Copies of this chain bind each other. A is one copy, B any other.
Amino acid sequence: MLLHMAEIDGPVTSESLAGMMQTNPVVIRRILAGLRKQGLVHSEKGHGGGWRLAKDLETVTLYDIHIALGSPGVLALGHRTEAPGCLVEQAVNNAMGEAFDAAEALLLSRFREITLASLSRDFHQRMQHCGNPGH
């Protein structure tokens, strides 16, 4: 969504973003409210209002966005009980926990290395290769 906003100059309304993303404007506003709290976007009410990027694409990584979205859990797998009394379960949690932590750390470290600018460059390259205009 941020990359789409980057292609448009001037503010973009949640309604038009909702059109692009095939969802409801309120869903867009809820998401962007989180991003605004982290200073990634900026919003204006009223006539001519809407949403605008607040940062240079070069300075925003997928990790920043992940944080702004509330650091949602990255793994679909997890412990059955967080602090089990059962000693079997404790052993399992301990072993699996290390694997989970390693996987999550790797994913987030990759996210830290992906900037919106690099994604934007990739997008523009794709634009060149196929004749397809519009995004």
Contact = CB atoms under 8 A, between A and B. Distances in A.
A9 interface: no
Interface in A10-25: none
Interface residues of A, number: 40
Nearest to A75: B76
Contacts of A94: 122
Closest 10 CB pairs of A and B: A99-B110, A103-B107, A91-B122, A91-B123, A87-B126, A76-B76, A103-B103, A3-B88, A88-B135, A103-B106
A104 to B, nearest CB: 7
A59 interface: no
Contact of A76 (B74, B98, B111, B130): B74
